[in-house]
Structure 1
Amino acid sequence: MSTTKYTKIGIVGAGSMGSMMCQLFAEAGPEVSVFDVKCGNVDTTVGMAEKNPKTKGKVKGYKDYEQFVMSLPSPGHRLLVFSITHGDPTDQVLEALRPHLAKGDIILDGGNEWYENTERRQAQLKREQNVDHIGMGVSGGYQSARHGPSISPGGDSAALKRVMPLLEKVSAKDSQGNPCVAPIGPGGSGHYVKMIHNGIEQGMMGAVAEAWGLLRFNLGCELDEISEIFEQWSNTPELKRTFLIDIGVDICQKRDPSLGKTGASDNEEHVLSTVADKVVQDADGTEGTGTWTVAEAARIHISSPTIAASHFFRLASADRTARLKIGESLNLPPPPITPRTTLGKDEKSQFVEDIRKAVYAACLASFTQGFQLIARQSQKEEWGVSLSTCLKIWRAGCIISSDGLLDVFQPVVADFDSKPGNVNGSAVGNEMAKPKDASATIPAHPHLTSELAAAMPSLRRVMLWALERDAHVPTLAASLEWIKYVGAPVLPTMFMEAELDWFGAHKFDRWDSDAGRFGGQVKKGSEHFEWSPA
């Protein structure tokens, strides 16, 4: 089916993301009908549009499903964009809308959805009503939803072709003006890529937050000074235009004179000084992607400690009551309100540089682990996802955008995509063409390993400093260990293998066998020893 010019679309969900997307789509050309089960959200969204000359009169609100759908073009030519909570809420909305849907209609699910839910809905809607359901990852938060997000749509190729012109118009644009959207692949691949994006995001956020803690609590830097440091980091080749560093510049210097004294005498009016140390987004169940990414890493057997450590750090932070109670028993010292350091000017400058390189290494680790997850799952599901496409859509409009980091991965993913069977489904049905473990080639790429090796000495020094001062660096520490063991020629896991054989007869490979010398396939060994006769 050819591409379609949509002159009017419907958006379901007018919360922080949906209300912003209403303005974004309306400015891009089509009129927008908006529906939300919370009538107040509809009124707020329409009122917002009426205040903007570019969208005035182009956004109409509806509080009834039937009237909402009737306001759209004729059956078969309707485009509905969902911006609602994953799981049951999406199923409930679909059930309410299904009597009003017709063959040829398309749904773009812009929520953070578990990819198997997306595939279930795709199959049911296609089978029963010939309606296409596209799992559309929308990255960048509500700010990008207003000005242009990174978009990862996945589903039926013909349906994707129909919506791509509009998505290209509303998506973020990279520094060359290229749209940060592209078809990801069939089925739930679009939502899967967005899920892994959020996992990479968590790893990066952990590294940056831990770096901030070292600068603030251990080096004695004031918030304005940290803002300047972050700005300098964002101008280095390695971390050039890294979104999470860039917004850190703003966060560390933002003031509100109405705040008054907060207890931090040198930062009385800084908004950051009022923010409690609790990340509840994952612990309260409102966000699933981080949890799913960690579980997915375990399920498909990809070592992802950078992502996992940051996730568990966030979970531990959420219950402040428990932390304070445990802290009383452990007698752990709190960070000083007015921190001091004995380092001289030159030593301090060098250590700040070490922290920068440590953050760089951890971010590389987080991206590598994320790319491995996408690569292995794509191979398993025969999605044919191009990692170069993922890199393309992450160039702007999303939380993990970073010119410096993504430049490092450009040759890595290009080489991966060039191998037979890794993308475009070229190995489907051809067992000989399928690589045994395509994901393993990513961390082994010399362009990546050379960067990790160069940053590793700084990461080690930061870990030693942190250990001596009880600083909180789980993400950075996990990244260092991952770099150390992911390419280690010998590991102490031989003892673990022996114990597994002792109590479970799980077998092992001998050093003098081909599997022991060269590795071979990932499969159970052929040897067993009766360590203690049963």
Structure 2
Amino acid sequence: RNFAHHGFKVAVFNRTWARTEALLAMKEPNIDGYKTLPEVVAVLKKPRIFLLMVTAEFVDNVVDQLKPLLEKDDVIIDGGNSHWPETERRQKAIEPTGIHFVGMGISGGEEGALNGPAMMFGGHLQDWENCKRVLLPIAAKSQDGAPCVDYMGRGGAGHFVKMVHNAIEYADMQLIAETYYIMKNALKMDNVAIADVFGKWNQGVLKSYLIEITEKVLRKKEGDKHIVDLILDTAEQKGTGKWTSQDSFDIPSATPAFAEAVYARVISCLKPERVEASKIIKHHPLEGFDIKVTIDDLEKALYAVKIICYAQGLSMIQKASAKMDYGVDISKCAKVWRGGCIIRANFLNDVSAYYTNETKNLLTIDFFRTAVEERVQSWRKVCALSTIQGYPIPLYSSCLAYFDSYGSDVLPANLIQGLRDFFGAHTYERVDKEGKFHTEWEQH
């Protein structure tokens, strides 16, 4: 429908004809429905562009049906949440046919699909040049009017960037949930008061889609009860956050925020176990400590941790791009994410303005490092209060450890390497001379 609204003639196929009929019943101009793939192929102008919007496990099946029907230079765009290695496998498999396969991450949900999503295009540059004429008009627009779609890079770059986008989304939501938890439990605020705070925050540096809808979720009632209080405290997941955490080990790139966001959902789903454990585990909060955390402290801490989450995500994209020769321009990622997608935020204007391909980490940019340093004492207060009282805030805590580790010139890894050499003769490097060394630790 988005394509049709922008004047493009669209041929639609769904394996379930009833779904196609439902779409046609809306009587949208420029949309024609077909019962078979050969019928669709026959009406499309060459070179044909197919946009697949199917779940990842069915992509191979659809591609296998399309291959005999297509010709050289036709393009298949996978717009689903496929894992980037699968995208690259499909690209290599189809390349000898002359058909082009593109992995394009799409974010925005149902609203974005209709009114303008953010899109991350990955594959050959020439494919982008051939397809952008139909993608630029349908994309979301950022505040400056720029379309939120661009070429991310070669191979599986589009789906890789989308995967990290989703991991940042996981972290963002976990961070918001932990902030809500502190306000509700430590500050004893009710839902309306918490919603008021998020509404105020959405007028400042934290302005974003997720902050905006947090206020709406907290305000929504069913009768005289807030719906958020009726929702079971178990958060499900589809797997992209898990993929990011797993892939970060192989790159390697340090992304503890994403792992903690995934683990928080895993632990939340242990509801029966948690209920039983809560009957026997005593938290023993520390007494004698008078730490006062204000709403201003929480706002500062939330913004600081947000910077850390993006620092980890963008660094991971950059390291992966170098390892796999994607050629990703990080500032383009931030620009595409400014509108249409779930993590859209004013904050991304600053990221796109300051980040270059020479940047090692968001924390090495004066603007962001200063922003964190100005807020870190509030952040430490939030973590200290939660630790003392026994409130679990894994994202706040792990990101603080990341910040302190990344900014340390000496870490205790020397002892770890010594232990590895002791039991496994793994050798070690020294600070006083070049080379690899091994010590016979039990010889006197």
Please state which band the TM-score falls in when normalised by the shorter chain.
over 0.9
Post-superposition CA distance 1:435-492 (Å, at most 9, x none): xxxx745433333222222221111100111112221200111011110111112222
Contact 1:204 1:362 in 2 (8 A): no
Are residues 1:24 and 2:2 paired?
A: yes
Post-superposition CA distance 1:475-515 (Å, at most 9, x none): 111011110111112222222122111111222233434x7
Distance 1:274 1:463 in 2: 28
Distance 1:410 1:35 in 2: 38
2:441 aligned partner = 531
Aligned-residue offset at 1:329: 4.2
1:59 aligned partner = 31
Distance 2:294 2:22 in 1: 49
Match of residue 402, structure 2, among 461, 464, 482? 482
Contact 2:107 2:119 in 1 (8 A): yes
2:342 aligned partner = 399
Are residues 1:295 and 2:246 paired?
A: yes
Aligned-residue offset at 1:217: 2.5
1:38 aligned partner = 16
Aligned-residue offset at 1:533: 4.3
Tell me the SS of whatever aligns to 2:194. helix
Alignment of 1:359-438 (within 5 A): 359-403=302-346, 405-414=347-356, 417=357, 419=358
Are residues 1:276 and 2:232 paired?
A: yes
Gaps of 5+ in 2: 285-289
Distance 2:341 2:209 in 1: 8
Aligned-residue offset at 1:193: 0.7
Distance 1:445 1:531 in 2: 43
Report the RMSD for the aligned CA atoms in angstroms.
Answer: 2.2
Contact 1:244 1:399 in 2 (8 A): yes
Which consecutive segments of 4 or more residues in structure 1 shift more than 6 A?
none
Post-superposition CA distance 1:57-77 (Å, at most 9, x none): 43333343333333x324x33
Contact 2:191 2:219 in 1 (8 A): yes
Call closer, same or farther: CA 1:153–1:493 in 2, change over 3 Å. same
Contact 1:203 1:362 in 2 (8 A): no
Are residues 1:317 and 2:268 paired?
A: yes
Post-superposition CA distance 1:107-152 (Å, at most 9, x none): 1111111112112222222312x11111111012222112111111
Aligned-residue offset at 1:157: 1.7
Distance 1:307 1:104 in 2: 38
Distance 2:414 2:73 in 1: 58
Are residues 1:110 and 2:79 paired?
A: yes
Aligned-residue offset at 1:332: 6.5
The aligned amino acid for 1:319 is L
Are residues 1:223 and 2:188 paired?
A: no
2:143 aligned partner = 175
Are residues 1:186 and 2:161 paired?
A: no
1:73 aligned partner = 44
Call closer, same or farther: CA 1:134–1:452 in 2, change over 3 Å. same
The aligned amino acid for 2:391 is A
Are residues 1:204 and 2:172 paired?
A: yes
Tell me the SS of whatever aligns to 1:34. strand
Aligned-residue offset at 1:386: 0.5
1:429 aligned partner = none
Distance 1:317 1:63 in 2: 43
Tell me the SS of whatever aligns to 1:153. strand
The aligned amino acid for 1:472 is P
Aligned-residue offset at 1:331: 5.3
Distance 2:432 2:89 in 1: 49
Contact 1:199 1:290 in 2 (8 A): yes
Tell me the SS of whatever aligns to 1:383. coil
Post-superposition CA distance 1:196-229 (Å, at most 9, x none): 1111111111111100111122212121211110
Gaps of 5+ in 1: 1-22, 51-55, 258-267, 282-286, 334-342, 420-438, 516-524
Aligned-residue offset at 1:326: 3.4
Distance 2:268 2:130 in 1: 44
The aligned amino acid for 1:271 is I
Are residues 1:247 and 2:213 paired?
A: yes
1:336 aligned partner = none
Call closer, same or farther: CA 1:166–1:362 in 2, change over 3 Å. same
Q: Percent identity?
A: 29
Contact 2:106 2:119 in 1 (8 A): yes
Distance 2:415 2:62 in 1: 53
Match of residue 507, structure 1, among 413, 427, 444? 427
Distance 2:119 2:80 in 1: 11
Distance 1:255 1:31 in 2: 42
Tell me the SS of whatever aligns to 2:331. helix
Contact 1:148 1:170 in 2 (8 A): yes
Match of residue 103, structure 2, among 112, 116, 135? 135
Distance 2:29 2:361 in 1: 53
Tell me the SS of whatever aligns to 2:150. coil
Tell me the SS of whatever aligns to 1:294. helix
Are residues 1:126 and 2:82 paired?
A: no
Distance 2:3 2:349 in 1: 31
1:18 aligned partner = none
